[in-house]
Amino acid sequence: MAKGEEVRNKQVLLRDYIAGFPKETDMIMRTGSIQLKPITGLGVSKVLDSDHPDFKEGDFVWGSTGWEEYSLITTPESLFKIHHTDVPLSYYTGILGMPGVTAYVGFYEVCSPKKGEYVFISAASGAVGQLVGQFAKLMGCYVVGSAGTKEKVDLLKNKLGFDEAFNYKEEHDLDAALKRYFPEGIDIYFDNIGGKMLDAVLLNMRLHGRIAACGMISQYNLEKPEGVHNLFYLVTKRIRLEGFVVFDYYHLYPKFLEFILPYIREGKIVYVEDTVEGLESGPAALMGLFTGRNVGKQVVVVARE
Amino acid sequence: MAKGEEVRNKQVLLRDYIAGFPKETDMIMRTGSIQLKPITGLGVSKVLDSDHPDFKEGDFVWGSTGWEEYSLITTPESLFKIHHTDVPLSYYTGILGMPGVTAYVGFYEVCSPKKGEYVFISAASGAVGQLVGQFAKLMGCYVVGSAGTKEKVDLLKNKLGFDEAFNYKEEHDLDAALKRYFPEGIDIYFDNIGGKMLDAVLLNMRLHGRIAACGMISQYNLEKPEGVHNLFYLVTKRIRLEGFVVFDYYHLYPKFLEFILPYIREGKIVYVEDTVEGLESGPAALMGLFTGRNVGKQVVVVARE
């Protein structure tokens, strides 16, 4: 593409600031120019043109881009160049991208896991959770995951190698459910959801347990977050509850790639993606994350290579 | 005293299991024998007789004893022998005992403090809080404490060297109070109370802040603990919230003594005690802890040396 050429550029825009659950109708499709401000997100892109010495036409990169067909990147330091293309490019939005690093640092750095420990993961079939569970199995832990449909529970047990899994929507007493799967208690909780599940987990943690607070999706769209009542167990059980954000750990990305690529190539770690086609599918796909419609990492294909 | 001799033994007993706030009338005074089960507590004692090679008549010890005039100790490994008697013996119930080690490990081990950081302490004039504040000042931190009376606030500012202090009972908006004293936010919160204050602190923590959960006295006597609503800030601000119990750290006691005795002898660390006389004063003194009547470490003198 010649430098400066103007192209028709479909974009997804937010109409307005959103309180509570976003709706599909809060977003509009528009054919505009890149001077507009599309939603930002993490994606895989192909370089069409570049003045930057580190990036040349035809390179593949992953990192922050717009929800649009073409993006002008003015902060190339936020991009990672893709050097390994023997794996699906979409993996760089998931297992080899931000969710992968999140699972890696959240489990190995924040949870301080030891062989034989009891590990519980919520939103366990999601982009991050499915990897945490596989990492924990590799370390010799007992791993249980929760998810919101039978299909996801089956996936966890039959494809992702979890020891057990349960559908939290079918449990009216989360405390009782956890006691059923963890009669000895929980050493590590990888928390993607917060709220009531966190409260129930606190009742079931073991002494010196660790909780990695990775996300609290159950709380994102509430006007007022739910109260967590059982924090006193942090004291009596000497529990560490630690929030983390993956951006603080991106310097570990090369080490992470070295760790995970062999597992992927040998088929010892698998990754489940939920792929929809076309930028037009983006808004509905995003809504699906809040209702749990996606099975595995949600990927939107804007263009095939 | 001849071995096996029976002595009149006044004791404080609990009438029954207590739910909610205990009342003085839940406890009874009784002249009994040591076969009864008095309340246990931490105290300083003088050895009257011993078969154990490490303890001999006339030794002073601190550790777990009964609320009674004479105690038969069957687990001497839970006692610490007192080697330094140039300081008040009562200090071994406070600054040189469990509260002292709690402040020491809670601050230095759990909070990972750095010079210049912003430190907030609740129940700041209490047995533990007053020491945490002085440790933080020694490290070059900015230190603010909260307490429940004007007298305590004055004590914090004028005697204990806190930079600022406030009476939480006079603040209808704890968030606003914290913003007033910490316009830059809080790096370290030493939490002795939990509940609403913890919720307000979460709003004011800085990135990578640390919260040591030492106790949650605001919650101990509630039928259902209050909810904490702002835990999502743990994620966005990458906060570590860690509960700890001093018993896990008693191996550090010799190191702690070596650290603190010189400060006490040089007058660089002071310790405020609230002393009442006689075992009969015990029940009222315990009640006072829940209503904040005590100023400093509550000590009950059962017998003078």
The complex scores an ipTM of: 0.82
Task: List strand residue ranges (DSSP E) for chain A, in order.
Answer: 9-14, 27-32, 40-46, 60-66, 79-81, 118-121, 142-147, 164-167, 186-191, 205-213, 240-243, 273-277, 297-301
Read off the tokens for B113: 């403090």
CA distance B190 to B216: 11
Instruction: Give the rounded percent of residues in chain B with a pLDDT score beyond 70.
Output: 96
Read off the tokens for A183: 């009669």
Read off the tokens for A247: 């951006």
Exposed e or buried b per residue across B71-96, where buried means at least 16 C-beta atoms within 10 angstroms of its C-beta: bebeebeebbebeeeebbbbbbbbbb
What mean pLDDT comes out for the span A2-30? 73
pLDDT band at B21 (very low <50, low <70, confident <90, very high): confident
More confident site: B178 or B17? B178
Segment (H or E) for B277: strand B273-277
Read off the tokens for A76: 């190339």
- SS3 of chain A: helix, strand, coil, percent, to 5: 35, 25, 40
> Cα-Cα-Cα-Cα dihedral of B123, B128, B129, B130, to 10°?
120
CA distance B108 to B122: 17
Does any CB of chain B come closer than 8 Å to the CB of residue A2?
A: no
Residues of chain A contacting B189 with CB distance shorter than 8 Å = none
Per-position DSSP letters for B187-255, written without gaps between them: EEEEESS-HHHHHHHHHHEEEEEEEEE---TTTTT-SSPPPB--THHHHHTT-EEEE--GGGGGGGHHH
Chains A and B form CB pairs within 8 A to the count of: 93
Give pLDDT, residue A102.
Answer: 97
Distances (CA, A) of A210 to A106, A109, A117, B210: 11, 11, 11, 15
pLDDT band at B3 (very low <50, low <70, confident <90, very high): very low
Residue range B237-257, pLDDT digits in tens = 999 999 999 999 999 999 999
What mean pLDDT comes out for the span B6-27? 76
Cα Dmax for chain A: 65
Of the candidates A226, A235, A236, the beta carbon closest to that of B227 is on A226
Does any CB of chain A come closer than 8 Å to the CB of residue B241?
A: yes
Task: Count Cα atoms within 13 angstroms, Cβ side, for A217.
Answer: 18
Smallest Cα–Cα separation from A146: which of A210, A194, A98, A80? A194
Closest CA in chain A for residue B196? A227
Number of Cβ within 10 Å of residue B302's Cβ equals 19
CB contact under 8 A, A194 and B231: yes
Q: Which residues 6+ apart lie within 8 Å of A302 measured at CB? A: A43, A69, A278, A279
Residue range B89-110, pLDDT digits in tens = 999 999 999 999 999 999 999 9
How close, in Å, is residue A220 to chain B by CA atoms?
9
Contact A206, B211 (CB under 8 A): no
How close, in Å, is residue A114 to chain B by CA atoms?
19
Strand-pair category, B297-301 with B273-277? parallel
Of the candidates B225, B236, B240, the beta carbon closest to that of A229 is on B225
Positive or negative torsion for Cα B143, B148, B150, B154: negative
Contact B35, B9 (CB under 8 A): no
Calculate the average pLDDT of chain A.
Answer: 91
pLDDT band at A292 (very low <50, low <70, confident <90, very high): confident
pLDDT at A19 over 60: yes
Give pLDDT, residue B6.
Answer: 67
A163-167, A282-286, B115-119: least confidently modelled range:
A282-286
Of the candidates B215, B216, B235, the beta carbon closest to that of A213 is on B235
Give pLDDT, residue A174.
Answer: 98
Where does residue A134 fall: left (phi above 0), alpha (psi -120 to 50 degrees), or beta otherwise? alpha
Instruction: Give the rounded percent of residues in chain A with a pLDDT score beyond 70.
Output: 96
CA distance B266 to A75: 57
- Mind listing the domains of chain A with CATH numbers? 9-83+277-301 (3.90.180.10), 98-247 (3.40.50.720)
